[in-house]
Every structure is written in structure tokens, then in C-alpha cells.
Structure 1
């Protein structure tokens, strides 16, 4: 009889704190003799050394660009001597230091009594004044002001940081918390009293009740909107739902000895939702106008309730539960008649959370709208009165990725798209300009790379940073009219990476399950790669339908896959069918079928790669992922045990009925049906054949940690062997430093058949060397 091996680690402190840092340095400096091996201490040493060598060693590649009120731009860039602030004037075509960093460091040192490194200043953000002649920054507990012309420096005041906690994502907005709302001319105030709508004259303070049918269980929302002419009001009448709560114990709180019980709001698939019904009132006659809810009575949500500027109507968006109908509805402010301006229907799902884009032109006379109605995500021009399509603005086997800007006056659109360049990776983002009628389509970026643009406030210029996983970033300033380069800003320097032996990822594509569609991914090899040796393969998986996930830009912030490869593996990442940013049919594979996760495509891709490169050992394939990737990693062992032999699953959504409503109902459908059971790792736990490691944060409020525990319970009942690591105090996580080590050790043991280093013994020796 097999006995499940449950590894529950109660503390990660010794690893994460200073002893871990000391250990890394000690390993990097050498501990064992140098021999070629896989999964040996020598490989761990090389992995650690690679991480330390590559960290912050990509130079001249700014991550973010910021525009000033005067249409200049600034950015922070790492150079060989440190961090430098740069300011660019697009009209003068100049690039120069934002200020004298050495002089500022000297002044700041004198003011604070602390030694300040001019190229490691204690701040990373600056704010320009209206004329760009002065800038401010916060450092050492104070705010400071610098005049950039004739250098002047002064302390402005005490710095007060904004609260870091922005609230929990699952908290529902209380419809009762809105403040009284003034009319456009401030002569009256609208407010809620005793669950009903009232107005009050600001001159006489007389209150007038407009509604009478509000109650505790069916009340008027305090989020009230006046029409622009001040003659009408609209707010929702709300029938609240019963809130689902999840509970977990924080075993090791920082502020007390005893554990804490914590609770979160957390709606799950199938739960009841609040019902909102817009209510229209005429203020002068105190009359309520009936609004028929026939077109929005099966709601998942109502959103974006807005008045037309001429007060003729208000509009809102209706997302029907099940996500197969989406409407923009127009309510006539005189009659209360509701009509659909736009209606989207799908036999599978409407990707409302990832592809929705709308711009109302000239107070809604026309609407620029994104839709997949022809099988690809494109822009349409809709008549804002009749709702008819006036023009399909973009068309073809490529997709709109982002609606950047619509110029109503000149009737032009700036947008991002991918897949239009047949000779390039179909996921590469490029930027375009087009007229409302579809004419004049102009590519503003053309280089064979993935582009990220940051436009000026007036959209006349944009900074374009482009790169590939095998091409270091190039940053240029472009003219938005035609994409011409106005100024070259930066070209990344990766010489330190190259000297360290870093091997660039290989972009690889192969046909998917239909024999026609290209599936794209990357292959990562260790620095000591030997083409004559065999390497187990580890796949990094995330197959959420809401996006595509294989890196397309230079991976300066994604070094961990290279570190894993150093232990003696080939590491891959693939976007299979069921993910986004290709055709609607490509994404629809996920519909009521999240267990698919693109595995038929992934397996074919890996077989094609192994046919080309015989150093890939497909008899030893591992897989790891977090969240939806954690679900897929476990699913690989349950549904494809003939191919995948080992998996590490972090904070997985192992049963879609246990996870958050909005994400799971969108792809798995509503009402809850047998497909949820069919896709459940818990239901299918008895199918486990390979080696499985589960990691879970004990206070994960993104994916209910009970999902992992229920899988563990099912595995135990099925008499399956597996490992479980609980991470005290951590939320939704891949595991942190401790989890990363457990993941690497697990693959070394499972795929290489090598016992990983005895870290406790090594820590003991490290401690001894300190004394």
C-alpha cells in the first residue's frame, strides 16, 4: 500500500532571510569540484551564479516612459554606471540628462547628512511642473524641488506616501455608500433616504421624495447621475444577493503569536448575483418613467451608465449571464423606451474581459466598436442612432489588440494589432493608423519585433520600444502621422549576458492538431549545452483563455526559466489552442473544456521540436504552472500520463466550481453543468500516474486554497502518492524563493533521478564557515 507523502513546511524564514543570501554567495563562489553533471551541486552553483550575473545587467533599455505637461518625455535608464534620468524634447529633437545628478546628489547629501550615490539616487520617479522648468521628487522622508535651468535645489515639505493597500479585488461596491450628488447648476442635491430617492433644494432646504417603492431588500442606489441639463435623474434599483464568503487561517501572523481567522467575499460559479434596474425620473414633474427590463433581465452585470451630453438619453452596457449576449442599450429620456444600439451574440462566449473596446463619436452619433463577429477581433463603425453597421473598419486574418485613440474631428483611429505581417510571429504587436471608413491603413511600426508604444498626451508622437526574445530592446521616438523615426533614444547593451554564456531562447513553431495552424513557443537551453547529450524537457504552462503568454519581448525580467535550464534541462513555453490573440476559433477550443489547455497542440509541438533536435528527451517531460497554470500542470498528469511524467502545481484552480465566478463562468459556461465535473482535477484525481508536487499559499484569496486541499484529499482517498507544500503567510504565489527551490529539487529528483543537495547540511556548513 502506498502512503501519501505530505510535506508541510512551517517556516521559510531561514531561506528567505540573510542566511539564504549568504548561501547564494557561498554557492556562487564554489563548494564542490567542477564536473559536468545534471542536477548536481555544480549545476545549482552555476544556476545561482547566472542569476547574480544577469541581474540588472541589461543596459540602455528603459522599462517605462512618461510624458510631461509640456509634451516632453522622461525616463529612467540603467547604464553601466548606474541609473540615469533622461529628458527628451520631441520638437527640438534633443535628448539630454534630466538634471545634473552629481550636483543633485551633492546637495541632497548636504541636506540629509547621508552619502548619496549620484547614479543610485534614493528615488526613481520625478514630477515636472507645468512649464517643465521645475521638477519634484520624494526622498529621505521629504519632497524636494529642483530648477533644471540655473540649478536650484530646495526642500519643499514632508513626504506622505499613499497607502499601499488598494483593497481586495473581490469586495463588492456597496450601493449605499455614495455621497449626495449636486445638480449641474448646484441648485439641488439628490440623495437616498430610507432606501428611496430624494432631492433637496439648496436654497430652501426643502426635501422632495421621488420614489416610494424602495425597501431594505430592493433599494435605490446612492450612485445617482443627473442629466447634463439638470432636468432628469437616473439610478439603479438594487436587489442584493447573498454574499459568499471564504475563510482561512493565517497561521503565523507578524503581529501576534496566535493565528488569525480571515474572511473574504468570493463569488463562485452558480452563485446568485445582485440585480440592478435603471430607474428614470423627471425632476420638475417628480415623475418616474417606466424602463422595461426585458432586454437586460438575465444580467451578469450592468456597466458604464452614461448620459448623452444633450440629455436625450442615457446608455449602459449589459453583459448577460453566461456571456453569450452582450448589448449596448439606449434609454430614451423622454419615453423610457429601451433599444439595443449594439448586440453581440456567440454560441460559445463573448470575451468581454479581454477584447471589449468602445468609443462614442460626437455624443454617440456613431460608435467605434471592437467585435469578433467575423471570426477575428476587428473594429466597426456603428450608427449610434439606428445601431446598424456603417463600415467594418478593419478586416483580415489578424486581430486588434488595443484601441489606442480615436480622433473624432479628423476621423482617424490609432490602434495596436497583431498577426497582420505574414512573415512575422503572429503575436507581435504593431501600431497602425486608419480612417473611419477603413481607408488609409498605415503601419506605424514595421520592424520584425514586438512593439510597445507610449503616446504623447496630444498623440502626435510616441516612444516605441521594440525587441524579441532573441533581439535586445531598441527604443526610438516616432511621429504618429506616419511612424517615421524622429529620434533614436536607446539601444540595449547585453554584453555582460553574452560574456556570461547566456544562450538566447529559440523561437520555434509547429503545426497544431488541425495540421494547418502554427503553434508558437520558445526553447531555452543551459549555458553549458551539449548537443550530443540528452536533456529532460520541462514546460512552463499558463493556458488561460484570456491571453497569450509566451514572452515575445526580450526576457530581461524572466530569467528564472534560464536558471532552471542550468540544472540540466531544456525549458519550453508554448501557446496552444484555447488561448487568446489569434482567431475566435483558436480561442473557442477552451469553451466548457478548460482541461484541454491546448495539450494536443503542445504535445505535437514538442514532438516536432524533438524530431528536429534529438537532444530533447521526450521520455522525461515535466510541467509546472501557477493558478490556471497550476490547474493545467496537474491536468497534464491526469489526462496525458503517457507524455507528461512530473508536474509542479502552484495555487491551482483544480475545480472550476471552487474558483472565482467571473473568470470561470466566462469560459466554462452558465448554468453549471456536467462540463465542470469532467474538467475537475479533483474528480479525476484517481487517474494520477506521474510524480506530483502541490504548492499552496495558506491565505490565497485569488484561488481558494481549499481547491488544492480538496485535490489532496481526493488523491489520498485514491491511494495516490504525491507531495504537498503549504506556504504559511503567502497568498496567490508561485512559491517565492522557497517554492522555487522545492520546484527545482522536485524536477531534479523526478526527471534526472538525482538526489538534490542536502540544503540543511549545506546551511549547517555555511553557518560554521561564518563563525
Structure 2
């Protein structure tokens, strides 16, 4: 009988365990939603292509209306990326890809000829970057080892455009580390409309200081990764604009001395083969010149200058060309990001979108009916800062219409003719679903892919609840928030609370969208008896420029105050144990959680900081100076909010701190964690530290993620 009881107990324990969310299930992908990869509308506007596991497939939009299968294999194979030529006769496909930094990748690229059903290798299969078809689909330009080339697809002849490229010195047509990371793109060259010329930006990073990272990799002597990393206030690459003529086979320099030219965030040819649009800006990134370059005469004409008392986000959509070189421009000048129309001389024609809400994404312009398509956080004209919806509006600013139908987060991939769009929708209660929608009116045709099984799996594993709410601090700040509670939540009990946040300028963690993998872990913690809360403090996005830019020149002051004030509000909830409130975050969130535990140990019991910035002096120039200017100009803004400044205040007798970093983090260097740890050591403070060998800012690979989250879970269980 005793054995039988033990067996029954063991079976019940296994059953209970199987019904709970586990780290193995989270990082094993049990709750990971399916997605559509590589959605590409075909030229006819009636079909689209998708990248699947065994090839690239073509579908008819109509198949989801008439319920007839239209799946057609375009090319079989396992590809990492693909690009069509303008006439869709050829497809560039990537295999054997090797990641470089956040966006950059090199690898073997081939061209698939859809008529001949054959492959043609680019540059003999050498690992190239950013291959791009010419508009006439007769050539492909690309970068290799910091130089630009193009390959004629008829003769297979390869022409080397630049010859001075050299690692850690000169880069042609590809961005340097800081441009890639902070302006969020890699290719910095462009074909003109008839394929007769290529404009490109050259980076001279000779004066930029190198950063060295040891790579262990079980080598007897570690290898060393060396790359140019401009820190705040230090030298950046010197950038210059150049033009290569295919017929002359010559490179010509284009002088930008008449305009702002410290950074060149964008170059893009207009529909006119002789007109190149160039965005240039100052080092503070609060003055942007919009310029046209006549490539025949090399004349640079400044159309207008956009200024801001804080900063201008050139890494987001800024301009789109219409007919006759008129263009659309995005600006925050009226307090929200909106779309404006300019003529080719730089004269403002009209502000197209208006209202106390903001444009969050631009989708395109239908020249047939003069309609602009975009995403915004407006819901029928009223801002809902936690949501995103899909809209169209006439070019003259009339007849704005919402095309998405449900509250939540909506995004779109439009057909080339804007007749349809593939609609990706999710909410706090509904996993991502892909529908086919009408592009001209608010109408849903049918479901392409849904993830209802993910919700079923989480529900079966006793997922708790996630609720959106507004938290008001004692200072009167109303902040977006969410709370995760266990399924068996009892308001008469006292629960410990873990705060999670990111808090970086313009970021948003609180949204009416489906849960990510961090939230899956948060639900697991809720099952263990915790409440998890997230609050977007001042300086975050979705509420207009005044709310977002009030932290300018003082990063970490208001944001940390808001997390401390949040904890004080939560401490008064009848179901919160005020003596057990913790905080954690990654990157900017790690900067925040470090500050919180060191500056407000009376409020927070424990903190975890993963890959944190610990002093903005150690971070890159473009990001940091955008919000703080240089350390030489604003030393207080750097030092007064650095967690290192408060190391002596850490109450290690009562509070617990876990510091985590990867040794190969090229973004937020290990130096940050080392300097903070040295400050704590010299203050004679006890804390815990976890270092991940050869891991970058994402800290992943093999068993790394599950080991990290198990470490954090145990630290929370032991100290909160």
C-alpha cells in the first residue's frame, strides 16, 4: 500500500509539472507562434511570394477569397534570404550566411533564372554583402572586403569599382559599425533609374579608435576581435559621397561642403536618373538638410532644413518619392510624427496627416488613386498609445479611413497595387494571426495562418492573466502598465512583485499585443507566486514628442524616478508584499535596474541587470550623443545618472544584485559590467556576477539561454 501511495504521489507530481510552464518548454519553442517569412508582393498585385522551409512559393491573394489552393513552387531549396529583380525574371538567393553584426551578413549569393530554371553564382561564391539588382536586371552590385563591385549577368564579367577598401580603415558602400547599429541599415550605395550610375558613401574610419574583444573558443591563445567603435565624444568615421559611372568607369567625388555633412544617414535615387536625394545632418542629430544632387553637374541643392530642439530620428521613414520628384516627408515638428508633402524645389505643399496621434509606419503610395497608406496609434482619430492600426488617406489629407478592424496591434504587407494586404494582428489575449484584407475598405477575406494552438497550449499549462492598466504615480504621472498574475490569484494574499522594463528613449514595452518569450518566463514566475509588472515611464514612446523627449540631456533621471515611484504605488496595493519588490532589465533595462537597486535600496529588495550600460561614456557616439550630446558638453548628464556613482549606497546586507554580461558583446561592451563591478568591489559591497564566454549582446547559443534564465529564476526564488 505504501508503494502504491508513493507511485500515485509521483504520478500526480509529474502531472502537475507537465501542466506548468517550464524553461524547457519556453526555450524549446512549445509556445512560439508561427510566422510568415519573406512576404513579397509580386508585380501583378494579384500574387505574393513567401519563403518556406524547402523553397520559395507563390500564392494568389484570391485563393483566400475563392478558397481555391494556388500554391506554386518558384524555386526549391533552403535559403536564408531572397530578392526579386524588377522584372521578376531572376531571384537573388542567399546560402551559407555568416552574421557579422546586428543587421549585416555575408554569404554565398546566387541568381536563379526562372525561365531557364538554373542558378548563376555571384563572384564565384565568395562571401559578399548586400547584392542589389540594377533597375534593368542586367547587373548586380555588391560589396566584398570593403570594396564595391558589379557583375554583368550576361557576360558574367565582374568589375571592381573601388580599390582602397581595407579592414578597419576604409569602407566603400557598406556602413561602419555605428551606422549599422544606430541608423539601422547596411547598404549605403544605390543604383540610378537606368542603371548607368551607382552612388555610394565612403567611410574613412582611420581615426576611429579600435575596440578589442578576446575570443576564447577553446583556443590555447585566445583570438582577438578588433573593430572600430566610436564612443561618445570620440572621433567618428569621416564620410564622403561618390558617384561611379558605368560607361566612363570612373569615380567622381560629390562635395557636400555647402550643407550639414557630419553624418550622411540616407542616400536614395529619385525616379529621375539624374537626381540623387541625400540626407545629411550635424553631429547633434537635431539639424537635417534635405538635398538633391544633379549627378550630371554634381550640383548640390539644399531643399530645406529640418530642426528640433532635441533630436531627429533619421533611422525611421523620412521620405518617399512621388511623380516629378515631389516627395513625402515625415516630421515630428507639430508634436507628433506626421506625413508632409513637398514639391521638388523643397516647398511645403501640405501636411497630410494631422491629429493628437502619430504615424508609426509608412506602407506606401498608390499613384492611381493618390492614396497614402500608413500605420498609426490612432483609433478612429483618438490616440491609443498601446495600439497600432492600419490607415489610408488621400494625398490632399482628406478621407482618412481605418482599415484594421480589431483593437490591438496591427501591421500590413500590401500588394503592389494596394488592392490587398496581408494583415498581421495580435492582442494581449490573442496570438498572432495572418489574414487577407481588402486594401480599399475595412474588410477581412480570410485567415492565412493562425496560432490559436499556442493559446491552447499555454492555457493547458495554467497560464495566468496579463492585464493592461494605467498607473498614476504620487507625482501625478499617468503611465502605461501591464501586470501578470497567476491563474489562482487571490487578492487577499500578499505577493512579491518583480518589475520588468526597458525604458529607452521612444521604446514601448506596454502594448496591446501578444506575449513574447520574456513574458512566457514571467508567466512561469507567476505560477511560482509572483506578480510581474511593467511600466513605461517618461521618455518612452507612443505619447508624442513632448513625453518622449523630456529626458533629453538627462538619461536615467526621470526614468529611474518613475520605476521607484511605480514600486511605491504598488507597495500600497493590498495584495502586494511591500518588503519584496524586485526589478530586472536587459541593456537599457539593465542600466535602469542597476540604478534602481543602488539608488533606492529601501524600495527594491533585489535587481538583475543583463548586459547593462553602466556609464554612457562607454557607449557609441551616434546613439548616446543623440540623447545626451557629448561628454565634453554635458558631463553631468553622463555621470549623475551612472549606477557607478551610487555604488557606495548599495545596501548589500539587505539587498541582492546579479550582474550578467557576455564577453563578446560588441554593442554594450563587457567593460560596462567590469567597471560597475570594480566600483562595487572598491565600495566593499557583495553582489553576484555571471559572465558568458564568447557571447554577444543577445547571450544565446546552445544551452546558454536556458542556463541564463534558470540562473535568474533561482536568484529570484532565493532573494525575493
When normalised by structure 1's length, the TM-score is 0.71
Superposition pairs of residues 349-428 of structure 1, within 5 angstroms: 349-353=311-315, 355-364=316-325, 366-385=326-345, 387-421=346-380, 425-428=384-387
Aligned-residue Cα RMSD (Å) equals: 4.4
User: Aligned-pair distance for 1:435?
Assistant: 0.9
| 2:617 aligns with one of 657, 681, 696 | 657
From the CA coordinates, give the structure whose radius of gyration is larger: 1
CA contact (8 A) 1:655 1:676 kept: yes
CA contact (8 A) 1:219 1:238 kept: yes
1:574 — aligned with what? 535
CA contact (8 A) 2:483 2:533 kept: yes
Superposition pairs of residues 171-190 of structure 1, within 5 angstroms: 177-179=147-149
The 1:513–1:585 alpha-carbon spacing in structure 2 relative to 1, beyond 3 Å, is farther
1:498 — aligned with what? 459
Between the two proteins, the alignment pairs up a number of residues equal to 628
SS at match of 1:568: coil
User: For 1:708 and 1:188, how far apart are their aligned partners in 2?
Assistant: 47
1:726 — aligned with what? 691
User: For 2:381 and 2:194, how far apart are their aligned partners in 1?
Assistant: 52
The answer to whether 1:246 aligns with 2:246 is: no
The 1:234–1:463 alpha-carbon spacing in structure 2 relative to 1, beyond 3 Å, is closer
| 1:687 aligns with one of 644, 649, 657 | 649
Higher mean C-alpha deviation, range 714-723 or range 682-691: 682-691
User: For 1:551 and 1:729, how far apart are their aligned partners in 2?
Assistant: 33
| 1:266 aligns with one of 199, 211, 229 | 229
SS at match of 1:682: helix
The answer to whether 1:587 aligns with 2:548 is: yes
User: For 2:631 and 2:480, how far apart are their aligned partners in 1?
Assistant: 34
User: For 1:33 and 1:227, how far apart are their aligned partners in 2?
Assistant: 69
1:295 — aligned with what? 259
| 1:738 aligns with one of 707, 711, 715 | 707
2:300 — aligned with what? 338
Superposition pairs of residues 205-604 of structure 1, within 5 angstroms: 240-251=205-216, 253=217, 256=219, 258-278=221-241, 291=255, 293-297=257-261, 299-306=262-269, 309-311=272-274, 313-333=275-295, 336-353=298-315, 355-364=316-325, 366-385=326-345, 387-421=346-380, 425-488=384-447, 490=450, 492-493=452-453, 494-511=455-472, 515=476, 518-555=478-515, 557=517, 558-596=519-557, 598-604=559-565
The 1:460–1:679 alpha-carbon spacing in structure 2 relative to 1, beyond 3 Å, is same
Give deviations 1:432-471, integer Å, cap 9, x for gaps. Answer: 0011110110100132222132333433112323232124
The 1:32–1:63 alpha-carbon spacing in structure 2 relative to 1, beyond 3 Å, is same
Q: Which of 1 and 2 has higher RCO (CA within 8 Å, sep 6+)? A: 1
Give deviations 1:591-619, integer Å, cap 9, x for gaps. Answer: 122213623434444555555x4112233
The answer to whether 1:168 aligns with 2:101 is: yes
User: Aligned-pair distance for 1:521?
Assistant: 1.6
User: Aligned-pair distance for 1:567?
Assistant: 2.2
The 1:531–1:43 alpha-carbon spacing in structure 2 relative to 1, beyond 3 Å, is farther
| 2:716 aligns with one of 742, 747, 753 | 747
CA contact (8 A) 2:47 2:58 kept: no
User: Aligned-pair distance for 1:331?
Assistant: 3.0
CA contact (8 A) 1:513 1:601 kept: no
The 1:504–1:75 alpha-carbon spacing in structure 2 relative to 1, beyond 3 Å, is farther
Superposition pairs of residues 70-81 of structure 1, within 5 angstroms: 71-72=46-47
Higher mean C-alpha deviation, range 730-739 or range 318-327: 730-739
SS at match of 1:707: helix
Give the gaps of 5 or more residues in structure 2. 1-7, 80-92, 105-128, 130-142, 175-187
CA contact (8 A) 2:471 2:478 kept: yes
Give the gaps of 5 or more residues in structure 1. 1-28, 35-40, 78-84, 100-127, 140-159, 196-215, 752-771
The 1:363–1:682 alpha-carbon spacing in structure 2 relative to 1, beyond 3 Å, is farther
SS at match of 1:631: helix
The 1:330–1:713 alpha-carbon spacing in structure 2 relative to 1, beyond 3 Å, is same
User: Aligned-pair distance for 1:48?
Assistant: 5.0
User: For 1:465 and 1:441, how far apart are their aligned partners in 2?
Assistant: 21
2:5 — aligned with what? none
